[in-house]
Structure 1
Amino acid sequence: MKRRTLLASAALALSLGTSAFAADEVTAGFIYVGPVGDGGWTYEHNKGRLAVEEHFGDKVKTVFQESVPEGADAERAITQMALSGADIIFTTSFGYMDPTIAVAAKFPNVKFEHATGYKRADNVGVYSARFYEGRAIQGHIAGKMTKTNKIGYIASFPIPEVIRGINSAYIHAKKVNPDVEFSIIWAYTWFDPAKEADAARALIENGADVILQHTDSTAPQAAAKEAGGVITFGQASDMGEYGPLPRVSSIIDNWGPYYIDRVQAVIDGTWESDDTWDGIGKGMVGIGEISDAVPADVKAEALALKDAIAAGSYHPFTGPLKKQDGSDWLAEGETADDGTLLGMNFYVEGLTGEIPN
């Protein structure tokens, strides 16, 4: 996908937001991996930015840079935003982790927040959501609704966040349908509509009648609608324009409350580096409306599962569970600890194929 030249467009992007501000007012910056109109991941982060504007009004200015590639370009974009006077900068993709740490070391008076990573510093906090909780609900619905017993999964990059999602969806599909099989295509992109559509078509041609995705565009939804007889789930955003079929539900990332809270901490002078990982219970992960295309009993089961996860009475990774190689992982009733989940680099028993390096 063609990207805009970052430094050439920085002035335009940084000019966005409310127009007139005093020098002592807070500026919150956002670095996005995709376009704000991607309909998925970046779209929801940008909704969070807009929520900050609505909440604080003239007290806070927001600026953003979209479609920033991970790597060296990210470091340049983050640096430019810091030089332009941002007081807090949210970098919203896993591949921004090292660039964020590098820039933060040069700007100790600027606060940084990195999404989905794990490296912190005195002026760098990290935050993410327990997306795997939503995957459990998707897996339950998928296992109940598939007719071919073949479920396709479009994965982005082989990092723990994505691997957790695959495992969670598979565990819960397998619980309700022992005959289910998963086929996984690694797209090696967060946002590339053409590549995502091709992956969806390949999975459908191979017999999958359910498509799950951990990529950011609505292209898999469109491919499934074109094929007919295939169900999908919105990723990161509701993607409700494809309901009631093929999209039957979704995982919705709700970043607004977190962004408001962290910007308020900057205003109050109470901001500290922190590590936040919230899920359905705290409202950071939402489950989009389950459409009438889902049988009533399956919908009721899915909502009961959601409620149990939210209440903390059920953990999606509860034993007995084995690893793909057949070795024991979790005993009966034992739940996975966060350290294992955060570093997850293995499939559970029953999944086929290898995790790429």
Structure 2
Amino acid sequence: MKKTALVVCPGRGTYNKPELGSISANIAASSPKIREYLQQVLDQIDAERAALGLATVTELDQAKLFKTSLHQKAEHAAALIYAAGYLDFLSIDREQYDVVAITGNSMGWYTAMACAEAWSVPTTARLVTSMAQLTAGGAGAQFIYPIVDSEWRPDPAREAQVNAQLQAHQGELFRSINYGGYAVLAGTEAACSAAMKALPLADERFPMLLPGHAAFHTHLMGEAATKAQETWPTAVFREPQTPLIDGRGHQWLTPTVDMRALHQYTLGHQVTETYDFSKAIQVGVKEFAPDRIILLGPGSGLGGAVAQALIAMNWQDLDSKAEFSKRQAAEVPYVLSMGLAEQRALVTTAQS
């Protein structure tokens, strides 16, 4: 009997040095019946990149060395993250899993849209590149700070410290992403700098500035949102074929999607307002009660944030990091990360 699954797509910054070569390696390791298909999809993405005069995903992924200046340049990172995630989605064994809903974190919304077939492959390849260029050129900065304790339980004191900084820098500092046990804040460079100096050191490395990130999911992205809506009309959007959960926790249920509203959210609200990843996960498990949560690559960084969002709502009596680790030790964990080889093997079609 098939298991139901909520699929989660990662956001910006998840293709790093350890992921170099992972896209081509995952295709090569796929079962023969889908390997050719995955390569055909990658070829389509590469063709769109080449037409834009940009390095292809294959060229970037198969580079001999990982270079931050190259691989984490906005328009390159976005393409790598989208391609890795989308190809992972296509690799899920549909004889084992019935995907009942899809969500993502921040830029992962674009990958989620692709997975739900709301855009064609060529459109998505061009759109993720375009959005990366538009938003990366924006003003401001973004940093991350924990709001949970060592057992991933909500920490009221840390939450209060974050809120105090938001209050102290009203109109210049904003809640960018609710990311499980972390608050991602963004705003003007001056406000971010002041807030980072004011917040006490946590876990020996926070507050942490996110290099190359602008004030994503704030009104400082207003110009980017306007240009995006002028560049990408509603006509390029298609009816999603799988339910989507957005960064407000709103469900886009097929086949009754208002395409204009989806366009306005994706290129408007999603760009300029807080992205509540935690709420998206919480709505996903409450409304769809999936047997498993499948995290797409690249990387495997989503697991902690997903667990923290579940702990915050005491999902199925999950109340701590220790308890989550205990449950993940099961033969088939509840949360399956395709960025981890042993868990990927439980999601994809067996090699033959």
Report the structure number with the largest CA radius of gyration.
1
Give the TM-score of the pair, scaled to structure 2.
Answer: 0.29
- Which protein is richer in strand relative to its size? 1
- Which protein is richer in helix relative to its size? 2
Identify the structure with bigger relative contact order (alpha carbons < 8 Å, sequence gap 6+): 2
Give the TM-score of the pair, scaled to structure 1.
Answer: 0.29
